[in-house]
């Protein structure tokens, strides 16, 4: 593979010191193979767009088995491993989200869709994707792929039929897999028909000896045995696919010297096919055993082994630090050059953006001094605002939400700029003069040079002929620009996607409106009900759903994996369930403490001495984060726990307020203060518990 094609960002990866070799040029005509150990989404996000000729993927099927539903992540951990891999390395398995058990389908969707979107992005214009799946998910995947690639890009559904294993007596035994073929451009893709392998005629006597000897070309149904459990091809990796099937895809759909990517690589079947057929390969898997199998299987081709760093832990969202976030919002609806059509929506957009972010509204979390809005700025005004923000900052790693609504323009191949009030159109009406627009690339470079994580929200229609024709590429190019310059700490929300343009209406751009409406309604599903603030990632799906149901194009939302989480807006759907220590809690504790005698008290006594309300509430003192009281000899008696005794003795503090999390667990509420007994109920005295408060 050419080095330009893959652009592995060496600084971000660590080559395996044990095996840093490459395929030697005389073996493989300068071809290269890479085996990447890490999560494929994180890896895909590091790849430049339009760099891969062929993608074949065989993701784990959504089999519906309980264990398959677990989202597991294996991390290298020599200190407390739960399994030992090759070379004695320790690995710990982390379960990511048990709630996912409830709904496997939802899980699969949110797992596969972002990966398919990235696959589309990294494919070259003439590239193809082959998705190997089975009957359980194929119809869903086809719908996702129709949305991502466009229906016209669907070329074939290949049925790989085999005949092996047990048969059902209750239904037709399922003995096939489905392989969906999508071409990025349905009019121009690689299909080396002349290299097709021929298969025997079913009735050779009917076609004559010459034809019978040559055989016929296969159709979209491929009969091929599975990998024999006892044959030489077998690597021992459980889901290994037959080389014959995979090799046909590589031979027919790529050329010598092309780069083929498999980001669910398993045992590396694609790598073997590529090495035989002189294609470069990139194989990604997050399972250390798959990596070891691939290393062994492909050793003679000397691939480079690359370990992706473990994802950096994202800083936890904190409402205490919205001070690190600033908003610069520009909207342009008036243009000096009559050739640029006036717009109706951006004015309204600016109002919505103010309401979205300003703490004085019901939605926002940022103070006015953190928000700058510019109505109809000139190029110089917007440029100066960006530079001033970059120069005035004191902290590193701040976040700037850069919002723009108005015309955008394609400046050159894959270059994009924002049209401001004084932007000029070329005299012949053919697009903008580049120096009269603000280049998107310049904004990103300025922000990242100042150590800012940029978050771009662009609600722009792309003016000019090039923009209209190259719609997809503009958005992809913007992603690539941010990606290249801001590494993986960025956000990009873009109004345009697919073939449709952004829409200009009196009540604002469709995208800004969707963002505003989703924020105003809040998210009250199980996951979000308990989240007082929403983050960018919370918005992705609801916005897409809203835009789809209102008939507008899907927007694009990219979030770099290292973008720190931050509260974007308040969640209007937040339904807190909290408990706060009250005066009757203090009285209950004092009753149980009994001035140091520490006794078990019946519920009847609590009720009699502290009143009805105390009866209903004293049991809250047993909740996890507090854990101050427990049952006595039976559930009708109560006594202090060990923690309870420490607390009453003034040796322990607990969160004043606790809240019920999305999974029903009790935890300290955000920013709850730690209190001692004397602070409960707002009391700030240092009164020691009396021997018997109400005797
Ligand atoms: C069905 S197997 C692929 C088998 C492969 N086609 C072969 O012939 O051996 C799917 C692979 O995807 C890998 N995988 C699953 N989730 C992944 C992720 N998020 N990142 C990288 N690899 C992943 C699994 O470890 C597994 O090896």
482-491 residue pLDDT tens: 877 887 788 8
Closest residue CA from atom 25 of ligand 1 = 287
Rounded CA-CA distance 665/221 in Å is 51
Tell me which of 74, 287, 295, 306 to substitute to probe ligand 1's pocket, judged by most ligand atoms within 8 Å of the beta carbon. 287
Find out whether the beta carbon of 271 lies less than 6 Å from any atom of ligand 1. no
Q: Answer yes or no: is pLDDT of 4 > 80.
A: no
What mean pLDDT is predicted for residues 162-188? 91
**Model pLDDT for residues 52-69, shown as the tens digit of each residue:** 999 999 998 754 443 233
Find out whether the beta carbon of 160 lies less than 6 Å from any atom of ligand 1. no
**Model pLDDT for residues 578-603, shown as the tens digit of each residue:** 788 888 888 889 999 998 888 999 88
Q: Answer yes or no: is pLDDT of 651 > 50.
A: yes
Closest residue CA from atom 2 of ligand 1 = 266
Q: Answer yes or no: is pLDDT of 311 > 60.
A: no
Higher local confidence (pLDDT), 670 or 458: 458
3-64+104-165+173-307, superfamily in CATH? Vaccinia Virus protein VP39 (3.40.50.150)
Lowest mean pLDDT among 193-207, 393-407, 473-487: 473-487
DSSP 322: G
Lowest mean pLDDT among 93-97, 389-393, 455-459, 467-471: 467-471
Residue with tokens 């120069």: 391
- Average pLDDT of the chain to the nearest whole number: 80
Find out whether the beta carbon of 89 lies less than 6 Å from any atom of ligand 1. no
Find out whether the beta carbon of 523 lies less than 6 Å from any atom of ligand 1. no
Higher local confidence (pLDDT), 156 or 105: 156
Name which of 339, 445, 458 is nearest 383 in CA terms: 445
What Cα–Cα distance (Å) separates residue 409 from each residue in 341, 462, 468, 503?
13, 5, 10, 15
Name which of 578, 565, 573 is nearest 526 in CA terms: 573
* 279, 10 Cβ separation under 8 angstroms: no
Tell me which of 60, 132, 561 to substitute to probe ligand 1's pocket, judged by most ligand atoms within 8 Å of the beta carbon. 60
> Does domain 325-570 bear CATH number 3.40.50.1460?
yes
- For residue 334, give every residue at least 6 positions away whose Cβ sits within 8 Å of its Cβ, in sequence order, or none: 342, 376, 421
- For residue 510, give every residue at least 6 positions away whose Cβ sits within 8 Å of its Cβ, in sequence order, or none: 459, 495, 502, 503, 547, 550, 552
Q: What are the residue boundaries of the structural domains of the chain, listed by start?
A: 3-64+104-165+173-307, 65-103, 325-570, 578-685
- For residue 461, give every residue at least 6 positions away whose Cβ sits within 8 Å of its Cβ, in sequence order, or none: 407, 408, 467, 495, 496, 501, 502, 503, 504
Cα angle value 549/550/556 (rounded, 5°) = 80
**Model pLDDT for residues 95-121, shown as the tens digit of each residue:** 543 322 222 444 677 788 889 999 999
Q: What percent of the chain has pLDDT over 70?
A: 79
Q: Ligand 1 centre from 266 Cα, in Å?
A: 5
Find out whether the beta carbon of 239 lies less than 6 Å from any atom of ligand 1. yes
Q: Ligand 1 centre from 285 Cα, in Å?
A: 6
Find out whether the beta carbon of 349 lies less than 6 Å from any atom of ligand 1. no
Name which of 282, 238, 288 is nearest 262 in CA terms: 282
User: What is the torsional sign of CA 109, 115, 117, 120?
Assistant: negative
Cα angle value 408/413/414 (rounded, 5°) = 55
Q: Ligand 1 centre from 70 Cα, in Å?
A: 15
Ligand 1 atom closest to 57 (CA): 6
Q: Ligand 1 centre from 17 Cα, in Å?
A: 24
Find out whether the beta carbon of 58 lies less than 6 Å from any atom of ligand 1. yes
pLDDT of residue 95: 53
The number of beta carbons lying within 10 Å of the beta carbon of residue 599 is 14
Residue with tokens 């049925």: 159
SS3 state at 455:
strand
Rounded CA-CA distance 462/419 in Å is 10
E strands, 332-446, in order: 371-375, 399-412, 415-419, 437-439
pLDDT of residue 544: 77
- For residue 579, give every residue at least 6 positions away whose Cβ sits within 8 Å of its Cβ, in sequence order, or none: 620, 623, 657, 658, 659, 666
Find out whether the beta carbon of 290 lies less than 6 Å from any atom of ligand 1. yes
Tell me which of 264, 294, 308 to substitute to probe ligand 1's pocket, judged by most ligand atoms within 8 Å of the beta carbon. 264
Beta bridge partners of 455: 401, 491
Burial classification of residue 298, based on how many CB atoms lie within 10 Å of its CB (0-12 exposed, 13-18 middle, 19 or more buried): buried
Q: Residues in the chain, how many? A: 695
Find out whether the beta carbon of 62 lies less than 6 Å from any atom of ligand 1. no
Find out whether the beta carbon of 471 lies less than 6 Å from any atom of ligand 1. no
- For residue 687, give every residue at least 6 positions away whose Cβ sits within 8 Å of its Cβ, in sequence order, or none: 678
Find out whether the beta carbon of 441 lies less than 6 Å from any atom of ligand 1. no
What Cα–Cα distance (Å) separates residue 43 from each residue in 57, 378, 380, 415, 522?
14, 39, 38, 25, 32
Residue with tokens 């009164």: 687
* 383, 374 Cβ separation under 8 angstroms: no
Rounded CA-CA distance 612/618 in Å is 10
pLDDT of residue 498: 44
Q: What are the backbone angles phi and psi of residue 354, rounded to the nearest 5°?
A: -60, -45
CA 210 to chain centre: 55
Find out whether the beta carbon of 240 lies less than 6 Å from any atom of ligand 1. yes
Q: Ligand 1 centre from 60 Cα, in Å?
A: 6
Rounded CA-CA distance 72/62 in Å is 14
Radius of gyration (C-alpha) of the chain in whole angstroms: 31
Alpha carbons within 13 A on the beta-carbon side of 147: 16
Tell me which of 179, 266, 292 to substitute to probe ligand 1's pocket, judged by most ligand atoms within 8 Å of the beta carbon. 266
Q: Do 3-64+104-165+173-307 and 325-570 have matching folds?
A: yes
Closest residue CA from atom 3 of ligand 1 = 266
Q: Ligand 1 centre from 218 Cα, in Å?
A: 28
Q: Answer yes or no: is pLDDT of 694 > 80.
A: no
Beta bridge partners of 222: 160
Rounded CA-CA distance 84/77 in Å is 10
Q: Ligand 1 centre from 224 Cα, in Å?
A: 21
Structure tokens at 89: 């390395």
DSSP 492: E
Q: Ligand 1 centre from 304 Cα, in Å?
A: 19
E strands, 413-490, in order: 415-419, 437-439, 453-463
Q: Ligand 1 centre from 57 Cα, in Å?
A: 8
Higher local confidence (pLDDT), 619 or 126: 126
* 84, 289 Cβ separation under 8 angstroms: no
Find out whether the beta carbon of 107 lies less than 6 Å from any atom of ligand 1. no
Find out whether the beta carbon of 241 lies less than 6 Å from any atom of ligand 1. yes
3-state secondary structure 82-131: CEECHHHCEEEEEECCHHHHHCHHHHHHHHHHHHHHHHHHHEEEEEEEEE
Beta bridge partners of 637: 602
Name which of 689, 496, 462 is nearest 588 in CA terms: 689
């Amino acid at each position: 593979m050419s080095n330009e094609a893959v652009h592995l960002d060496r600084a971000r990866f660590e080559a395996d010191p044990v095996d840093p070799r490459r395929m030697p040029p005389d073996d493989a005509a300068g071809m290269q193979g890479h085996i990447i150990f890490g999560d494929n989404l994180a890896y895909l996000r590091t790849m430049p767009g339009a760099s891969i000729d062929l993608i074949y993927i065989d993701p784990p099927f959504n089999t519906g088995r309980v264990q398959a539903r677990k989202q597991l992540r294996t991390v290298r951990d020599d200190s407390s491993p739960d399994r030992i891999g090759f070379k004695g390395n320790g690995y710990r398995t982390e379960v990511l989200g048990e709630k996912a058990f409830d709904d496997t389908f939802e899980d699969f969707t949110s797992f596969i869709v972002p990966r398919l979107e990235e696959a589309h992005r990294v494919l070259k214009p003439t590239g193809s994707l082959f998705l190997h799946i089975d009957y359980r998910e194929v119809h869903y995947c086809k719908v996702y792929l129709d949305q991502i690639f466009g229906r016209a890009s669907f070329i074939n559904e290949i049925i790989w039929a085999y005949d092996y294993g047990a048969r059902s007596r209750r239904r037709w035994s399922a003995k096939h897999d489905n392989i969906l073929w999508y071409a990025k451009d349905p009019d121009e893709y690689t299909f080396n028909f002349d290299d097709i392998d021929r298969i025997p005629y079913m009735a050779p006597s009917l076609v004559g000896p010459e034809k019978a000897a040559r055989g016929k070309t296969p159709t979209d149904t491929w009969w091929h045995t599975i990998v024999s459990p006892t044959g030489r091809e077998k690597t021992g990796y459980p889901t290994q696919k037959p080389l014959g099937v995979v090799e046909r895809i590589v031979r027919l759909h790529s050329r010598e010297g092309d780069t083929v990517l498999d980001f669910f690589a398993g045992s590396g079947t694609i790598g073997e096919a590529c090495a035989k057929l002189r294609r470069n390969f990139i194989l990604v898997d997050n399972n250390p055993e798959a990596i070891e199998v691939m290393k062994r299987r492909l050793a003679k081709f000397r691939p480079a082994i690359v370990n992706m760093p473990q994802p950096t832990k994202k800083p936890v969202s904190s409402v205490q630090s919205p001070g690190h976030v600033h908003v610069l919002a520009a909207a342009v609806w008036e243009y000096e050059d009559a050739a640029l059509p006036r717009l109706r929506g951006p004015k309204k957009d600016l109002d919505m953006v103010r309401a979205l972010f300003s703490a004085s509204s019901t939605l926002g979390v940022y103070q006015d001094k953190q928000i700058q809005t510019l109505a109809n700025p000139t190029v110089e005004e917007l440029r100066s605002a960006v530079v001033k923000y970059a120069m005035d900052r004191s902290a590193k790693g701040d976040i700037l939400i850069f919002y723009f609504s108005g015309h955008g323009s394609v400046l050159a191949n894959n270059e994009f700029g924002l049209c401001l009030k004084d932007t000029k159109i070329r005299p012949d009406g053919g697009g903008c003069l580049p120096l009269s627009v603000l280049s998107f690339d310049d904004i990103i470079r300025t922000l990242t040079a100042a150590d800012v994580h940029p978050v771009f929200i662009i609600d722009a229609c792309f003016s000019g002929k090039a923009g209209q024709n190259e719609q997809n590429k503009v958005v992809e190019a913007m992603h690539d620009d941010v990606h290249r310059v801001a590494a993986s700490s960025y956000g990009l929300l873009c109004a345009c996607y697919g073939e449709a343009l952004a829409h200009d209406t009196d009540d604002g751009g469709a995208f800004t409106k969707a963002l505003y409406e989703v924020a105003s309604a809040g998210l009250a599903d199980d996951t979000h009900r308990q989240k007082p603030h929403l983050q960018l990632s919370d918005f992705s799906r609801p916005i897409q759903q809203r835009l789809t149901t209102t008939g507008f194009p899907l927007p694009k939302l990219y979030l770099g994996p290292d973008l720190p989480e931050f509260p974007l807006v308040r969640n209007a759907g937040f339904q807190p369930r909290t408990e706060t220590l009250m005066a009757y809690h203090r009285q209950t504790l004092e009753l149980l403490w009994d001035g140091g005698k520490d006794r078990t008290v019946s519920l009847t006594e609590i009720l009699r001495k502290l009143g009805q309300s105390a009866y209903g509430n004293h049991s809250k003192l047993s909740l996890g984060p507090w854990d101050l009281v427990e049952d006595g000899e039976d559930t009708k008696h109560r006594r202090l726990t060990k923690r309870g005794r420490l607390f009453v003795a003034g040796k322990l503090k607990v969160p004043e307020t606790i809240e019920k999390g999305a999974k029903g667990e009790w935890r300290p509420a955000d920013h709850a203060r730690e209190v001692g007994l004397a602070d409960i109920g707002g009391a700030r005295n240092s009164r020691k518990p009396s021997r018997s408060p109400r005797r």
